[in-house]
A and B are shown apart, each in its own frame.
Chain A
């Protein structure tokens, strides 16, 4: 008797669900749940889009974006040269506003440029190195990127753009964490990195602070200025313009930067031309 009663009670909800009135109530409850979910997601995404990364997230995203950037351009494989670039970057990064695990790499492309990713990943291109003549120029260019990463310029800039593919991926990744989301977040970040111009104030800040950091380390403060001057002269020849297209699409014109940096003054400091030439095998 008791056994029959238990079985009846177990099946009771299913029996009620089949009745027209009760079934309707259940459907309405399910429907309201479905409608409420996207609203919650949207609100959560909006919050997440404006929430800065934790240091761990910054490292994760930086590494995934670095892998993507290396997949796009390839990397120069020369341990001695890579070490040299890391030492020069390390000398400048001592004076960065944030202490990050700085890692510097050389991208295997002729285009002139350098890129800073979250978490302290900095890349300079083979094309940039080929146009430099001393270590102070390299220090200035790396200093510019170190400031971008220290001040989280890219993250701030893209987060502020509602149309950015990265902002959408970012919000999705926060809602659904996992390797696939991290990868798609990194893809969107690199896409923005290669196509997005940061604000003038961020670029000016990177030029100024980057040059100052290099000077604090003992390099000639005008290293970046020297490099940009050579680059501008080279870009004046139409056959060389292809080297600079990427850089000029995402940065202010050379003349503007040269004029600003010229006002910083002080050309004292080391240029270390011999060490640079030797490291590059010239």
Chain B
């Protein structure tokens, strides 16, 4: 009789153990699903948060279009002639040039010195 009582108690407890093991498995799965802590973006070659950078062939080759394996500019790249678009972009540099009040505000905001 005593043997039956022990056996029934063991059977009653069994699902509890099974559930604990199941919970542990779920928790471990959850841990695996969580993204790994984000590593800092690599310096050099990492993106710089530009939303509207010019799309050229370069983007297809990870930014090394026209650069040889040693990192020097290939001769064929040097033969590129300035077109209307290039002329316009350089002209636009004049428009982006900051005014004196803009520069003063920038210096003040950063605690920098003016001449």
Tell me the A residues contacting B by CB distance below 8 Å.
63-64, 66-68, 70-72, 74-79, 81-83, 86-87, 90-91, 94-95, 101-105, 108-112, 121, 126-127, 129-133, 135, 183, 187, 190-191, 194-195, 216-219, 230-231, 234, 240-249, 270, 272, 275, 280-282
Say whether A103 contacts B94, CB under 8 Å. yes
**Which residues in A have their C-beta under 8 angstroms from that of B80?**
68, 71-72
Q: A108-B56, A218-B113 are in contact. List 19 more A-B contacts (CB 8 A).
A: A66-B93, A67-B86, A70-B82, A77-B54, A78-B50, A86-B96, A90-B97, A104-B93, A105-B93, A108-B54, A111-B64, A127-B63, A129-B48, A130-B44, A231-B44, A246-B67, A249-B70, A275-B110, A282-B49
For chains A and B in complex, what number of residue pairs have CB atoms within 8 angstroms? 186
Known contacts A70-B86, A94-B115; decide if A270 and B45 are in contact (CB<8 Å). no
List residues of chain B with CB within 8 A of the CB of A103: 93-94, 96-97
Given contacts A71-B81, A109-B63, A281-B48, contact A76 B54 (CB under 8 A): yes
Minimum CB–CB distance from A253 to chain B (whole Å) comes to 14
Complex alpha-carbon distance, A241 and B87, angstroms: 32
Cα(A272)–Cα(B109), bound, Å: 10
Interface membership of B37, Cβ < 8 A: no
DSSP class of B's interface residues: helix, strand, loop or mixed? Answer: loop
Are the CB atoms of B48 and A280 closer together than 8 Å?
yes
Distance A159 CA – B80 CA, assembled complex (angstroms): 24
Instruction: List A contacts of B13 (CB < 8 A).
Output: none
Q: Which residues of B contact A109 (CB under 8 A)?
A: 58, 63, 67
Q: Which residues of A contact B83 (CB under 8 A)?
A: 71
**What are 18 A-B residue pairs whose CB atoms fall within 8 Å in the complex?**
A70-B82, A75-B89, A77-B52, A78-B51, A110-B58, A110-B64, A126-B48, A126-B63, A130-B45, A190-B78, A194-B73, A218-B113, A230-B43, A240-B44, A241-B70, A241-B71, A249-B71, A280-B48
Closest Cβ neighbor of B63 among chain A residues: A110
- Distance A179 CA – B68 CA, assembled complex (angstroms): 32
Known contacts A218-B113, A243-B71, A244-B71: does B44 contact A127 (CB below 8 Å)?
A: yes
Give the most central of A63, A102, A111: most B CB within 10 Å.
A111
Cβ contact of B113, chosen from A63, A105, A126, A217, cutoff 8 A:
A217
Query: Given A70-B82, A130-B45, A87 and B64 touching (CB < 8 A)?
Result: no
Residues of A with C-beta under 8 A to B81: 68, 71
* Residue B77 CB within 8 A of the other chain: yes
Q: Does B111 contact A (CB under 8 A)?
A: yes
Cβ–Cβ < 8 Å partners of A81 in chain B: 48, 50
Shortest Cβ distance from B80 into A: residue: A71
A contacts with B: majority SS: helix
Contact of B53 with A126 in the complex, beta carbons under 8 Å: yes
The verdict on A111 contacting B112 (CB below 8 Å), with A78-B53, A234-B44 known, is no
Chain B residues with Cβ below 8 Å from A102 are: 97
CB distance from A152 to the nearest CB of B (A): 20
Comparing B2-10, B20-28, B100-108, the segment that makes contact with chain A is B100-108
Chain A residues with Cβ below 8 Å from B31 are: none
